[in-house]
Amino acid sequence: MSKKRRDNKGRILKEGEIQRDDGRYMYRYCDAAGERQTLYSWRLVETDTYPAGKKKDLSLREKEAQIQKDLMDHIDTNGSSITLNELFERYIRTKKRLKQNVKENYLLMYNKHIKADYIGNMQMKTISKMDILNIYDTMSESGLSNGSIHIMHNNILFPTLQLAVDNNWIRKNPAKDCLKEYPYDPLNKREALTLKEQNKFTEFLSRDKVYAKYFPIVSLILETALRRGEALGLTWDNVDLKSGVLRIEHQLHYYSVNGKYCFKAGSLKTDHANRVIPLSKEALTLLQNIKRNEYFNSINSGIEIDGYKNFVFLNSRKNNVIIPR
């Protein structure tokens, strides 16, 4: 009959448990993939006192219980060892249907607010709800708007962590309900200009020496409800002056690609955004005047962005389209 292994207090150790010469406990086991793993702790059970000068940690038996539960629930503890930054790289690669400009915006937001922060280099299994709340608090203090923080949560951080849950790398999503607990004020409600305010605004644009060049663009947006990128990406191929309609099927973007800002013209965010807009009398007259105005006429300008050319609006030097911002 083999002699049972005991620790320096005379307690019987379970299979896989060892106490080293320095007093530290070890537990060896096989993970879900059959790989040998080892846990360490300076205490065998929760009631043991912490050795002087040692960092507080779970006892060995507490860690064993967690591992056994993970194995029973098929949680891949190896996967939970990757960092948040590594997980986000995997997550963003899965978003094949995401528009390129949206993906670039998500990358820009993540790299600016999370990647270099301490949480970016934390292992998945160590990230807590408090860590998520802290990062949101840091974003708010740095001046990030409530709307941007909601985008960060709903479109970036929460789904990234959910990927780890769905792959059984972690048991639960630490970002769950974090926005509910964080003391945000309600997002500011957008208010439309009154007719008086709209007239005052366009009157200023039409007369100002600096901003008069934007008067046709703003006027067209007000008449057609075009989005900014749709208006600035508008080409004469989209304009049917004879039938009095606009065909909207692409938009213009200006964003960072590999650290360098550039123009991109591409499809709209959803297929439903493709539409034909009937022109009011004012909008039709405006476009007719724009086409006669050499300042804005891009025909034969040679400017081409992702296959689109003959843009309705150009910058003041007529050597490129206008930056949306």
The per-residue pLDDT for range 200-255, each reduced to its tens digit, is 999 999 999 988 889 999 999 999 999 999 999 999 999 999 999 999 998 888 87
- Please say if the pLDDT value at position 188 is more than 90: no
Query: Domains, the chain, ranges and CATH?
Result: 17-74 (3.30.160.60), 80-181 (1.10.150.130), 195-309 (no CATH)
Determine the average pLDDT of the residues in 190-196. Answer: 87
- Please say if the pLDDT value at position 158 is more than 80: yes
pTM recorded for the entire structure: 0.56
- Please say if the pLDDT value at position 173 is more than 90: yes
The per-residue pLDDT for range 120-153, each reduced to its tens digit, is 999 888 899 999 999 988 888 888 888 888 889 9
Determine the average pLDDT of the residues in 59-66. Answer: 87
Determine the average pLDDT of the residues in 65-88. Answer: 75
* 3-state SS class at 46: coil
What was the pLDDT predicted at 187? 52
- Please say if the pLDDT value at position 262 is more than 80: yes
Q: Which of 126, 135, 133, 114 is nearest to 164 (CA)?
A: 126
- Please say if the pLDDT value at position 321 is more than 60: yes
Determine the average pLDDT of the residues in 273-280. Answer: 91
Within the chain, strands assigned E span 17-19, 25-30, 36-41, 239-240, 245-248, 251-257, 260-266, 275-278, 304-305, 308-309
Q: Are 66 and 27 in contact (CB under 8 A)?
A: no
The per-residue pLDDT for range 288-311, each reduced to its tens digit, is 988 887 555 555 467 888 888 888
Q: Are 151 and 113 in contact (CB under 8 A)?
A: no
